[in-house]
Structure 1
Amino acid sequence: MSDAYPMPKNWRCPLDPPAEYKRLRKEAPVTRVRVWDGSTPWLITRYDDASQALGDPRLSLDFRLPGFPHTSPTSAARLDRVLPFAFRADSEHRAQRAMLMQEFSPRRMELLRPRIQRIVDEALDTMLGGPRPVDLLAAFALPVAIRVICDLLGVSHDDCEHLHRLSCAIGSRDTPKEEAGRALEEMDGYFERLVAENVRNPSDTLIGRVVAEYVRKGALSEQDAAAMFQMLFHAGHGPSAYMLIMGTLALLLDPDQRGELHAVAEDPQQLSAAIQELLRYVTVSHSGRQRVATEDIIIGGQLIRAGEGVLVQTDSANRDETVFPNPDQLDLHRPPHRNLALGHGLHLCTGRALALIELEVVFPTLLRRVPTLRLAVPVEDIPFKQNDNLLAAYEMPVTW
């Protein structure tokens, strides 16, 4: 009998993946699991196997292929909509991703650092001027993450709260398929209208530039563009906001490492390494990366046949003791080694450069400006999202 997926975890230790992953890494690193619809994809838990799987073009993220492992009703609901490029065949994915790479280049993202710093400082000014305790997610993490991606895309701040609620519905495994479909339809409609506005009058925003360069010239349909921007909004604010609060939680629970981050904040190289370690340790994308085999392939000594689904468990891979000594310990001075928190291979996070800069700004600024920051409730009283695609909390009360 295959294990039920997702596997249960101890929410009293919210930053640790399910304990079962440790056993699987040792005894059954490529094994069958049973998901919500009764199908039994392969689960990959070791780092080397996960890196191979994410980098192998024979494992596809094309949602439309038979055998693709939909891990929740919300995942299956996407099949009824125009799929964003990340969920299509590799040729379509490469073509549309190329349209964005200049927009998300490290050089271009670096130019945004001063603006991100202003956004972070303004959010902290507002938070520090208000009552205590305060929900760090609502008062700081979400406003920062949403404003950064909305300013880049060209989405009105007035619409962000509603779009975020729709994203939450899409990101929850508990959302019924019909409700997820309605949320996707509403988000698609919003971005279709935004694309149409930019077709008529392109703005000096990411959406405006892509529309002018590709949609108006017939290289990208308006529906494909809307799906692209919907995905960028969805992936560009939720993971960032939750990484901000869960990364902060990790630092609040480990005062020594909090002090180490403060100590390296002025050294770009050491700060970059510290942020990578936080990403490894937290890995907010804790739902298995979905793939389906297009050819027979051997991973970890296991034959995976064409048409079989695969889930690549990156939070487990990032705790692989054969790659990261003492993996369950946050160590901001850990020697650099590529973690899988932001993906790997063809589907490496499109906004990786932006995400890293955002984190490099947020954590040092938060620790510097609120040196006495602490949890306002015991960690076991924080209401975590226990059935979400991201490691997250509904709220995180803090004080200072």
Structure 2
Amino acid sequence: MTDQAAIPLYMAREGLAPSAEASALRDSGRLLKVPVTLGSGEAWLVTRYADVREVLSDPTRFSNALSAAAAAPLSIGLSDEERARRRKGQLLAFDPPEHTRLRRILAPEFTMRRMRVLEPRITEIVDAQLDELERLGPGADFMAAFALPVPSLVICELLGVPADDRSEFQERTSRLLDMSRPREERAQVGRESDTYMRGLVARALADPGEDILGMLIREHRDELDADALTNIAGMLLTAGHETTANMLALGTLALLTSPGELAALRAGLDDAEQVEAAVEELLRFLSVAHSGIPRAAVRDVEIAGQLISAGDQVLFALAPANRDPGFVEDGDRLDVSRKPTPHVAFGHGPHHCLGAPLARAEMALAFPALLRRFPDLALAVPPEEIRFRPFHVVYGVETLPLTWTPTTGAGTDPQPR
């Protein structure tokens, strides 16, 4: 059984909701010093929507670069030179203007226009994984058969990663992001990931393909060395599948435990605007990314009446912020027909998630396809038996067994309902 007391407050959840303690802190308007799981020491925790946006939008007062030491626990055994190499190209480790330069290089691959070009291939991947889910039959684990493979296969193709390597990097990423594992173990996983990505970059340098790595090598080789390319590829590979996979699983769980909202979404599956609104609402309601890289105060600043001294770290809790009554009415209720809100599920400001258009495109294609394929989709176990992953940087479930009425001949490996 999970020790709830050991879970940092900014990661604490109660099922699909932020913890009551985190919500109460938000409603009090106060800041609280909490342990920094991603690094060492303590940080001021910001939970109100307006305060979160203020911190995230202003790198002149709240610096990513100054908080880069937060990654130190994963640099165990590395020399200063090796740490510097691991930092090259890392969007999350820099402030403008260096961050702006790196983001400008990568941004063209993640525009909505680019996503429209990718839609046919994403659709093919979605349909293939739905075929696999149907083949496994009622009782199959949605997480393993669909939620993880879909974004993993998409990002593999975008980066030129062999599909056969997918399960290996999924397993490494899960261990790397599991904050309950010893720092030494996570540091070793980080080294293994770095070795893999260096091999991938070396092959791309020798023979650039039509993927993102190939584009970066052809168009920006004078700006990005092998270290920067390795770090960029690692960041995209990790971020490109973990958040979307857990959004697909938790989003499905949220819908299946909210019959009225599921019915409303089913009724609007042919309305692109309705589907997009539902995706935005699920993003807001679930906020699978707990927080992000801690910021460091550049100088003495005041947030919510609290003095934050220069050098102090600042963390932000996205789940309670996205349900803040000062931001959204009745925020603890899932409403797939809600007008899209400017939520902070993808962050805000200069470090707003680069891959947000890709995640949105995958969800907007995956949820309708899933609901059309299985008209009577349901949980295969009682909701209280679903096991969550509270210690992961990205919130999710261990497994999600689903059931449905199989069509004639479908499900060659059925499991009991």
Structure 2 partner of 1:172:
178
- Aligned residue in 2 for 1:31: 32
Q: Which residue of 2 aligns with 1:61?
A: 64
Residue identity matched to 1:40: E
In angstroms, what is the RMSD of aligned CA positions?
2.2
Tell me if 1:225 matches 2:229: yes
Give the SS at the match of 1:21.
helix
Output the amino acid matched with 1:372.
D
> Letter of the aligned partner of 1:294 in structure 2?
V
* Aligned pairs, number: 392
SS in 1 for 2:325: coil
2:242 maps to 1:238: yes
Distance 2:331 2:130 in 1: 32
The residue number in structure 2 matching 1:334 is 338
2:356 corresponds to which residue?
Answer: 352
Partner SS, residue 315 of structure 2:
strand
Once the two structures are TM-superposed, the CA of residue 212 in structure 1 deviates from its matched residue by 1.6
Instruction: Please tell me whether the aligned partners of residues 296 and 303 of structure 1 are also in contact (alpha carbons under 8 angstroms).
Output: yes
CA distance in 2, matches of 1:8, 1:314: 8
**Number of the residue aligned with 2:407:** none
Pairing 1:123-142 to 2, within 5 Å after superposition: 123-142=129-148
Match of 1:311, SS state, is strand
Q: CA separation in 1, counterparts of 2:194 and 2:10?
A: 33
**Which has the higher mean CA deviation after the structures are superposed, 241-250 or 185-194?**
185-194
Task: Return the alpha-carbon distance in structure 2 between the equivalents of residues 197 and 253 of structure 1.
Answer: 46
Pick closer, same or farther for the CA change 1:76–1:268 going to 2, 3 Å: farther
C-alpha separation in 1, matches of 2:6 and 2:131:
46
TM-score of the two chains, using structure 1 as the length reference: 0.92
Opposite residue 346 of structure 1, the aligned amino acid is: P
The structural deviation recorded for 1:74 is 4.8
For residue 148 of structure 1, report the CA deviation from its aligned partner.
0.9
Say if 1:77 and 1:178, in contact at 8 Å, map to a contact too.
no
Match of 1:104 in 2: 110
Query: Is it true that 1:91 corresponds to 2:97 in the alignment?
Result: yes
Q: Which shifted more, 259-268 or 342-351?
A: 259-268
1:189-204 equivalence runs, <5 A: 189-204=195-210
Q: Residues of 1 paired with 2:381 and 2:77: CA distance?
A: 37
Contact 1:187/1:230 (<8 A) preserved = yes
| CA distance in 2 between partners of 1:287 and 1:104 (Å) | 22
Residue of structure 1 in register with 2:411 after alignment:
none
Moved over 4 A (4+): 8-11, 72-81
What displacement does 1:116 show? 0.8
Q: Which amino acid in 2 is paired with 1:333?
A: S
* 85-94 vs 341-350, greater mean Cα deviation: 85-94
Q: 1:300 to 1:178 in 2, by over 3 A?
A: same
TM-score, length basis structure 2 = 0.88
**1:118-143 deviations in Å (ceiling 9; x for gaps):** 11111101110223311000011111
Which runs of no fewer than 5 residues in structure 2 stay unpaired?
405-417
Match of 2:280 in 1: 276
Paired residues of 2:158 and 2:212 also in contact (CA < 8 A): yes
Shift of 1:214: 1.5
Aligned to 2:191: 185
Q: Distance in 2 between matches of 1:90 and 1:378?
A: 48
Q: Distance in 2 between matches of 1:184 and 1:116?
A: 29
SS at 2:336 equivalent: coil
2:39 is equivalent to residue 50 of structure 1? no
Classify the secondary structure of the residue corresponding to 2:18.
coil
- 1:46, CA displacement in angstroms? 0.3
Amino acid at match of 2:9: M
Contact 1:74 1:170 in 2 (8 A): no
Encode CA deviations 1:59-89: one digit per residue, 9 max, x unaligned.
Answer: 1222655xx656x955989996402232234
The residue type paired with residue 318 of structure 1 is: N
Per the alignment, do residues 38 and 181 of structure 1 end up closer, same or farther by CA in structure 2, a change over 3 Å counting? closer
Q: Can you give the 5+ residue segments of structure 1 that lack an aligned partner in the other structure?
A: none
